[in-house]
Amino acid sequence: MSTKIIQVRDDTSRPTMVDVLARISARSSVEASSEDIRSFIENDRKYATAPSHTAVIETWL
């Protein structure tokens, strides 16, 4: 498992949900459980309401 911390600044732009879904749907296959998807949505909601200069921690297995 590796972890990296990404510093997100006020001026950082994020893709719209439409852009994200378009990229996902363009893939030949996507594996995710219902719980994974709910978790991603919840994390996005938390990020959207977080104060500026929020650090995002990504963990990859």
Please write the tens of the pLDDT for every residue from 11-34. 556 777 788 888 878 887 767 788
Distance CA 5, CA 61 (A): 15
Quick check: 36 pLDDT over 60?
yes
Q: What is the pLDDT of residue 28?
A: 78
The domain in which residue 44 lies consists of 2-60
Place 38 in a pLDDT band, splitting at 50, 70 and 90: confident
In 3D, which of 59, 27, 22 has the Cα closest to residue 43? 59
Distance CA 10, CA 3 (A): 23
What is the residue type of 48? A
Q: For 39-50, how does the pLDDT look when each residue is reduced to its tens digit (9 = 90+)?
A: 888 877 766 665
What is the residue type of 8? V
Distance CA 17, CA 50 (A): 17
Q: Give how many domains the chain has, as a whole number.
A: 1
